[in-house]
């Protein structure tokens, strides 16, 4: 024999599900923000301030390829000015950490650039290089999060 489910019971169950769905979508009236709120809206360029991280002229060794002639360059030089875009509340921390650890930060930038491949250096957006620079600078900047790195006027020249 099949179990009997009455229409009022189905309507009551449907109403309970509707109330539960509304409570989940609206929340329980809590003022707390979601831990994912930062990812829901990233800061715009206008909301960020830039911190100058210096000018760089870095010689980079280039591995010869099978097609390259014996007289081709074995070194290139990348020249650029580096800026970090941070939120205004992190600007003082970023400047302080840069002034205190400038030598170490510059060494990290030079290390990353010298270990970059030719393809990474010739990328018009330098996206891989920016990501690697950002990751390598994180231990030195403390609580000041770098939102974006800007490489101003990058030039790669053969030496």
Quick: pLDDT tens for 54-77: 999 999 988 766 665 555 667 889
In this predicted structure, the answer to whether residue 89 has a pLDDT above a threshold of 60 is: yes
Which residues make Cβ contacts (< 8 Å) with residue 142, sequence separation at least 6? 93, 97
**Structural contact between residues 134 and 146, judged by C-beta atoms closer than 8 angstroms:** yes
In this predicted structure, the answer to whether residue 31 has a pLDDT above a threshold of 90 is: no
Q: What is the CATH number of domain 45-158?
A: 3.30.479.30
Strand partners, 115: none
Please state, in angstroms and rounded to a whole number, the distance separating the CA atoms of residues 71 and 125. Answer: 29
Report the pLDDT value the prediction gives residue 122, as an integer from 0 to 100. 85
Task: List the one residue out of 57, 153, 74 whose CA is nearest residue 118.
Answer: 74
Please state, in angstroms and rounded to a whole number, the distance separating the CA atoms of residues 91 and 69. Answer: 48
Please state, in angstroms and rounded to a whole number, the distance separating the CA atoms of residues 36 and 64. Answer: 46
Strand partners, 44: none
- Does the model's pTM come out above 0.95? no
Report the pLDDT value the prediction gives residue 37, as an integer from 0 to 100. 63
Quick: pLDDT tens for 115-129: 998 888 888 889 999
- Nearest 10 degrees: Cα torsion 124, 56, 116, 126: -20
Q: What is the mean pLDDT of the chain?
A: 81
**Structural contact between residues 84 and 146, judged by C-beta atoms closer than 8 angstroms:** yes
Most confidently predicted of 3-7, 25-29, 80-84, 142-146: 80-84
Report the pLDDT value the prediction gives residue 39, as an integer from 0 to 100. 62
């Amino acid at each position: 024999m099949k179990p009997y489910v009455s229409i009022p019971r189905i309507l009551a169950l449907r109403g309970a599900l509707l109330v539960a769905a509304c409570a989940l979508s609206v929340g329980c009236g809590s003022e707390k923000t979601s831990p994912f709120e930062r990812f829901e809206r990233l800061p715009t360029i206008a909301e960020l301030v830039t911190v100058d991280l210096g000018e760089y002229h870095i010689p980079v060794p280039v591995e010869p390829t099978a097609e390259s002639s014996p007289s081709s360059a074995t070194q290139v030089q990348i020249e650029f000015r580096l800026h970090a875009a941070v939120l205004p509340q992190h600007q003082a921390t970023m400047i302080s950490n840069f002034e205190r650890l400038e030598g170490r930060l510059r060494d990290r930038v030079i290390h990353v650039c010298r270990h970059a491949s030719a393809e990474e250096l010739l990328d018009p957006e330098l996206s891989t290089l920016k990501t690697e620079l950002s990751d390598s600078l994180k231990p030195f900047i403390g609580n000041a999060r770098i939102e974006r790195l800007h490489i101003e006027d990058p030039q790669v020249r053969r030496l």
